[in-house]
């Protein structure tokens, strides 16, 4: 007896395991995370901010300078076109098909099975269920 997951013996065993086995593992993990965060906090700002892009003011200046140069030469325009690849006819057709399918599913309103659109007349001899 007492073998189910609701039994008090199993509950006690699980509590002991949490306290003795999983508790130290979790505290060690938290300590490692805290140490890593402290290292990052103490590191100089230059090392911490390596992943971030340059300041937006410089980017705005560069953007205005590139727009003026793109209008003057055709080579730069070609580079801009190459930056954004064109979609193939297959991909465009697939995207249009998916868009149509989404529109149809929106019109249905729910994800239930579609019902038959045609209604058949009731049999002459059958009585209606509501009236008796």
What's the confidence (pLDDT) of residue 102?
84
Below-50 pLDDT ranges, the chain: none
Name the region of 2 (left: φ>0; alpha: ψ -120 to 50; beta: rest): left
Model-level pTM? 0.29
Q: Are 116 and 109 in contact, with CB atoms under 8 Å apart?
A: no
Name the region of 119 (left: φ>0; alpha: ψ -120 to 50; beta: rest): beta
Q: Taking the alpha carbons of 76, 80, 82, 83 in that order, is the dihedral positive or negative?
A: positive
């Amino acid at each position: 007896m007492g073998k189910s997951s609701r039994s008090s013996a199993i509950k006690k065993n699980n509590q002991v395991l949490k306290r003795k086995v999983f508790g130290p593992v979790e505290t060690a993990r938290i300590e490692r995370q805290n140490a890593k965060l402290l290292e990052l906090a103490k590191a100089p700002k230059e090392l911490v901010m390596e992943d971030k892009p340059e300041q937006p003011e410089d980017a705005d200046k560069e953007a205005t300078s590139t727009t003026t140069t793109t209008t003057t030469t055709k080579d730069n325009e070609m580079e801009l076109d190459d930056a954004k690849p064109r979609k193939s006819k297959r991909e465009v057709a697939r995207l249009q098909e998916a868009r149509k399918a989404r529109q149809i599913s929106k019109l249905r309103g729910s994800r239930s099975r579609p019902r038959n659109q045609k209604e058949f007349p009731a049999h002459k001899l059958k009585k209606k269920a509501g009236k008796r």
